[in-house]
Amino acid sequence: MSSRRRLLAIPLVVALSWPGAAQALTLEAAKAEGLVGERPDGYVGIVVADPPSEVRELVAQVNARRRAAYEEIAKKNGVPVEAVAALAGQRLIDRTPVGQYVMDAQGRWVQK
């Protein structure tokens, strides 16, 4: 891994792992319950067919925060937002605990 990628990865993984303090349902809890999972594009996706509105709101909030973080990092480093997001997605999937859901390259949800 290049030093530039390592530079991007450290603050990114920390920032993306931080749940919102005021949320009733945390990202970690939603992942543990199998409601949401990590996608390779760096965003969170809904795993279940008919999620409660609380889950949809959580995913929207997390993804908005992630998008803002990706944009900031991309701008500072002169790289495309999609490249930052993909790197973050791979890191987040790699760090996902066994038993939680991740999206595979074919777009299917699989338990890690």
pLDDT tens digits, one per residue of 2-42: 656 655 565 656 555 555 544 489 999 999 999 999 999 99
Mean pLDDT of 48-52: 96
36 belongs to a structural domain? yes
Torsion of CA 81, 83, 103, 95, to 10 degrees: -100
36 and 47 Cβ atoms separated by less than 8 Å: yes
Confidence at residue 23, expressed as pLDDT on a 0 to 100 scale = 46
Q: Which domain holds residue 62?
A: 3-107
> Residue 55, Cα to own-chain centre: how many angstroms?
14
Reported pTM: 0.80
State residue 88 phi and psi, 5-degree precision.
-65, -40
62 belongs to a structural domain? yes
The β-bridge partners of 36 are 46
In the chain, the number of structural domains is 1
Amino acid identity for residue 13 in this structure: V
